[in-house]
């Protein structure tokens, strides 16, 4: 992936989401009669600055990892007596709650907007037809089999494999029965199968929910003819060329690329023998596979790829909505993703999910670049998901975050007076420690993925 896509994708994503978040605070503060001194996108030295007719300074700063809205406040400096009515701390508690909550709410509204646009643009979905089921896997034990089309997970309808994956993610780390409704080939009547899961993928660093059930999605057969080579991969080093057709791996015949992939992934840093055909001549070469990933995610790597196959028209479906129906879809998806984000955080705290699933700026940059490179639709999806994450995280009741301030103001409303400055200062110190600790953990996870 181009480093340029990563940089531009990250800057655009952070710029849009941070600006919209801070604009939420700014807009409501103005409506509540609070004087805004500065609206900054980014931290550090200002790159661009200007003032509006109300005296607010707008700044684009050098470090694009956040932003802030600075309001007139007696706790942060002297306020002239003639401007006390415009100070944030002098406003009624409900107005302060509204101002603080406006940032996360703006992120949710932005996600709804993106999902609304995506719902109207529509997408092409691959029918979730099972290609094969691993023997003795949870799916096999639950009665799932090749040829069945998945139509619902736990009662929630799905259109394609993305929907299946999203519904399965909700059950990560859990123990119990997973309901999978399928259509048998030639039937239009769904049949529900109960799949037993036990602490499902609890310790997985990068969980694959579909593969974790033992399901391989159906896909068109791909002839094992090499179409691309990694210049630094084992295949090229061993002398394989574009156009070579693989015939066997360690003497086992292969006629489909997926068979090669499965055998290679299971043998990191092991020596294998590849039989292949070039210009009508059968040949064999021995090579040592490379390895990718760490721990349980470690897999073998050949450094070769094939051309994509054509999907049959009957395996594809177009999904799109009109302007009104798209609103419902946007609201539903935003709500579902918000709950999923909260549930995932809860599972990490309770130990049901590995904390290695936390991602930091490096992973965000990589995903931003990949989605930007894939097209507008994928990038909008990424922005919507990231906006929801930003909204949910900011609402957590941790001092320093918006949610922590909301907690203090709600306590003030209930008690009729604010907490002492000493208690709030302790809360802030605890909040800073928690936030810094989580950020460091996310950064360590990012570096380990590299």
How is residue 70 written in tokens?
A: 């600075």
* C-beta separation of 20 from 110 below 8 A: yes
3 state SS of 278? strand
End-to-end CA distance of the chain: 14
φ, ψ dihedrals at 24, nearest 5°: -60, -50
Q: Provide the annotated active-site residues.
A: 22
Cα atoms in the 13 Å half-sphere on the side-chain side of 171:
23
CA distance 339 to 156: 15
DSSP string, 125-143: EE--BEEEE-TTSHHHHTT
CA distance 59 to 69: 10
Region for 302 from its dihedrals, namely left if φ exceeds 0, alpha if ψ lies in -120 to 50, beta otherwise: alpha
By CB atoms closer than 10 A (0-12, 13-18, 19+), residue 11 is: middle
Sheet with 176-183: strands ordered across: 156-157, 149-153, 176-183, 191-197
φ, ψ dihedrals at 424, nearest 5°: -65, -35
Exposed e or buried b for every residue in 162-191, given b needs 16+ CB within 10 A? ebbbbbbebbbbbeeebebbbbeeeeeeee
Position of tokens 């055909």?
277
Region for 144 from its dihedrals, namely left if φ exceeds 0, alpha if ψ lies in -120 to 50, beta otherwise: beta
Beta bridge partners of residue 284, listed in sequence order: 275
333: closest CA among 107, 116, 101?
A: 116
What angle do the packed helices 3-31 and 361-374 form, to 10 degrees? 100
Position of tokens 């699933």?
357
3 state SS of 246? strand
Position of tokens 């101002």?
99
């Amino acid at each position: 992936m181009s480093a340029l896509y990563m940089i531009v994708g990250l800057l655009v994503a952070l710029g849009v989401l941070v600006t919209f978040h801070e604009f939420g605070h700014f807009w409501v503060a103005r409506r509540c009669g609070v004087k805004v001194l500065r609206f900054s996108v980014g931290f550090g030295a200002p790159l661009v600055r200007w003032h509006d007719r109300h005296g607010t300074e707008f700044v684009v700063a050098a470090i694009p990892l956040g932003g802030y809205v600075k309001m007139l406040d007696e706790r942060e400096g002297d306020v002239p007596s003639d401007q006390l009515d415009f100070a944030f701390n002098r406003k009624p508690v409900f107005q302060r709650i509204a101002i603080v909550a406006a940032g996360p709410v703006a992120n949710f509204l932005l996600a709804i907007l993106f999902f609304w646009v995506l719902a109207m643009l529509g997408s092409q979905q691959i029918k979730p037809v099972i290609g094969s089921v691993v023997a003795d896997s949870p799916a096999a034990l639950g009665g799932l089999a090749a040829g069945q089309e998945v139509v619902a997970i736990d009662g929630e309808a799905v259109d394609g494999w993305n929907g299946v994956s999203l519904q399965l993610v909700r059950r990560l780390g859990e123990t119990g029965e997973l309901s999978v409704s399928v259509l048998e080939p030639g039937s239009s009547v769904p049949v529900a199968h109960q799949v037993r899961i036990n602490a499902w993928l609890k310790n997985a660093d990068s969980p694959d929910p579909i593969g974790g059930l033992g399901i391989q999605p159906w896909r068109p057969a791909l002839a094992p003819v090499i179409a691309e080579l990694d210049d630094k991969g084992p295949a090229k080093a061993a002398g394989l060329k574009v156009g070579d057709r693989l015939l066997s791996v360690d003497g086992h015949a292969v006629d489909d690329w997926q068979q090669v992939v499965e055998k290679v992934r299971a043998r990191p840093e092991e020596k294998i023998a590849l039989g292949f055909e070039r210009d009508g001549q059968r040949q064999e070469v021995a090579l040592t596979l490379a390895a990718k990933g760490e721990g349980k995610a470690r897999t073998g790597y050949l450094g070769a790829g094939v051309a994509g196959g054509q999907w049959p028209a009957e395996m594809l479906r177009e999904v799109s909505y009109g302007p009104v129906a798209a609103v419902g879809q946007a609201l539903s998806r935003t709500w579902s993703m918000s709950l999923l984000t909260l549930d995932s955080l809860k599972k990490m705290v309770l130990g049901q999910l590995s904390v290695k699933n936390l991602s930091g700026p490096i992973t965000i940059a990589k995903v931003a670049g990949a989605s930007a490179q894939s097209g507008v639709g994928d990038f909008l999806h990424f922005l919507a998901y990231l906006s929801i994450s930003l909204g949910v995280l900011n609402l957590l009741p941790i001092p320093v975050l918006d949610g922590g301030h909301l907690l203090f103001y709600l306590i003030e409303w209930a008690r009729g007076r604010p907490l002492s400055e000493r208690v709030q200062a302790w809360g802030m110190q605890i909040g800073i420690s928690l936030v810094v600790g989580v950020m460091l953990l996310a950064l360590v996870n990012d570096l380990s993925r590299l």
